[in-house]
A and B are shown apart, each in its own frame.
Chain A
Amino acid sequence: MSDTGLREQAFLVLTALAAEPQHGYAVIENVRDISEGRVRLHTGSLYAIIDRLREMGLIEVDREEVVASRLRRYYRLTGAGAARLAEEERALRRHADAAAARLRRFRTVHGGGVA
């Protein structure tokens, strides 16, 4: 990920929460959809990321509900979280643009597809 050090899984969790406040299971599903099935968070990883993002002030608890006698806690992006996600997004875009430009040049020089 970017120089500022957000790992891919944390980036995807922030991206999931940028849509709307979500509970843990919904975040897992959302991350899988966003990454087109490539990133499948298990519960242990998800809560390690949630704990860290809360500590960094990037997400916070939105509300709590009890569904079928079980606690369901919803998390939402904070202002700092939105700013950080935007920063990450810009960094990723810069890197992607740089990669695309160099690939175009590579194809021009070598003529054709990348082996």
Chain B
Amino acid sequence: MSHAERLERGYRRLLACYPVQYRAEYGEEMIGVLMTASTPRQRRPDLREAAGLVTAGLRARLRLTSRATFSPAWRDAAAAFGYLAAVTLAAMAAYHLVATLTIRNLYGDMIHGTSFGVQEWATLVWVAGWTVAAVAAGAGARWLGAAWALVGTAAIAVKFGPEYIQSPWNVVTYWWILVLAVTAAAALVTGARGEVRPLGVRSRVVVGLAALLATAAPALEAAMIVVTPVDGGWSETYRWFFASMRIGPRPVTLINAVLVVALAAVVLRLAPSVRRRVVVLALPAAATGLVVLWAFRDLLAPSPPFGYLIAPQWIVLVAVPVLTFALGARLVARYERKLASGALLA
């Protein structure tokens, strides 16, 4: 291999720092300039040129990524996802609040600790934060929605954070909710201004009503069940557990299914380019939930081994949402490039 060939190969390797579109547009031309600027017996890329290519390549990548992030399709998808996730998060917290209050109403005389503690207050702020965020986002007040989404996210952290000391596995179980909240808050911050264009009024109302129904489920079921005195053999703790079990299944599951179906129906009605991105935005929370079920199953067992999370586990919890979003966004970009070039239309 000649000096020139070796040098050219070195420069081509450095050009890999640039995005593929950039290389397609300027790559050969840049190689021409770099080779013209080289000295006759030069075998390796000049250090200054190499540093410049790496820096400029990474900046080009960053620029392309930020441009893609703030493209109209992403901003529309972020606004739609922000609204849908806000409604879901508000419904989840409201459901637990209504369930707790219903259980206390039914079995309050059998259980201790009926006072309203920090966690209950955090749940209230969680409900309030995400409800206001959903209403504001639905009405087109994006910044108000984003601000309350941040309040709601902080409330989730306050609710689950202290549990880490007593029950680290509980925090792991609910980690996906925090991921969903962070994604939704980020989506509301970066989403399109004004009314949530991709979601029609009917879609917003359908999702809102389904969420209300899911929220009211525990109270509805409480009206249906018959309260049977618990055997004297149950301890206070088990009575609470028993009550929780009684309030949970059947109609509640059905009503939650209604919310899931409503969300799915609304997402399916979105324009394909927005729908793809909404799915990518939902990926971090979904992937985190699945990874926790699979990789942390020992922690989630009925009698988990007690112990705080170690560094690799924290890395997994943080890396999974980030990487799945990056991968999803990349796949969408690649798929749409292929669509644009007609490869999939043929």
Contacts and interface: CB of A to CB of B under 8 A. Distances in A.
Interface of A: 23-25, 28, 42-48, 50-51, 67, 70-73
A43 B34 contact: yes
Contact of B55 (A23, A44, A51): A44
Contact of A44 (B29, B36, B37, B56): B56
A46 B60 CA distance: 13
Given A24-B33, A28-B33, A43-B30, 17 more contacts: A24-B30, A24-B32, A42-B48, A42-B53, A43-B34, A43-B52, A43-B53, A44-B52, A44-B53, A44-B54, A48-B56, A48-B60, A51-B22, A51-B25, A51-B60, A71-B28, A72-B32
B216 interface: no
Contact of A42 (B35, B52, B59): B52
14 contacts: A24-B33, A25-B33, A25-B37, A44-B49, A44-B52, A45-B52, A47-B26, A48-B59, A51-B25, A51-B60, A67-B32, A70-B31, A70-B32, A71-B28
A51 B26 contact: yes
In the complex, which of the residues B32, B53, B55 has the most CB atoms of chain A within 10 Å of its own CB atom?
Answer: B32
B7 to A, nearest CB: 13
B198 interface: no
Nearest to B55: A44
Interface of B: 22, 25-26, 28-37, 48-49, 52-57, 59-60
Contacts of A72: 29, 32
A72 B36 CA distance: 11
A70 B29 CA distance: 7
A41 B35 CA distance: 15
A43 B28 contact: no
Contacts of B22: 51
Contacts of B26: 47, 50-51
B36 A25 contact: yes
B32 A71 contact: yes
B56 A45 contact: yes
A61 B22 CA distance: 16
Given A51-B22, A51-B26, A46 B59 contact: no
Contacts of B54: 44
Nearest to A49: B56
A37 B225 CA distance: 87
A51 B24 CA distance: 13
Across the A-B interface, the 3 shortest Cβ-Cβ residue pairs = A44-B56, A42-B52, A44-B52
A48 B33 CA distance: 14
A70 B28 contact: yes
A71 B59 CA distance: 24
A44 B36 CA distance: 14
Contacts of B35: 70
Contacts of B48: 42
Contacts of A46: 33
B223 to A, nearest CB: 63
Contacts of A45: 52, 56
Contacts of B56: 44-45, 47-48
B60 A43 contact: no
Contacts of B34: 43
B290 to A, nearest CB: 40
B295 to A, nearest CB: 41
Most buried by A among B29, B30, B31: B29
A48 B91 CA distance: 48
Contacts of B53: 42-44
Contacts of A44: 49, 52-57
B207 to A, nearest CB: 39
Contacts of A28: 33, 37
Contacts of B37: 25, 28, 43
A7 to B, nearest CB: 14
A70 B37 CA distance: 13
A47 B31 CA distance: 11
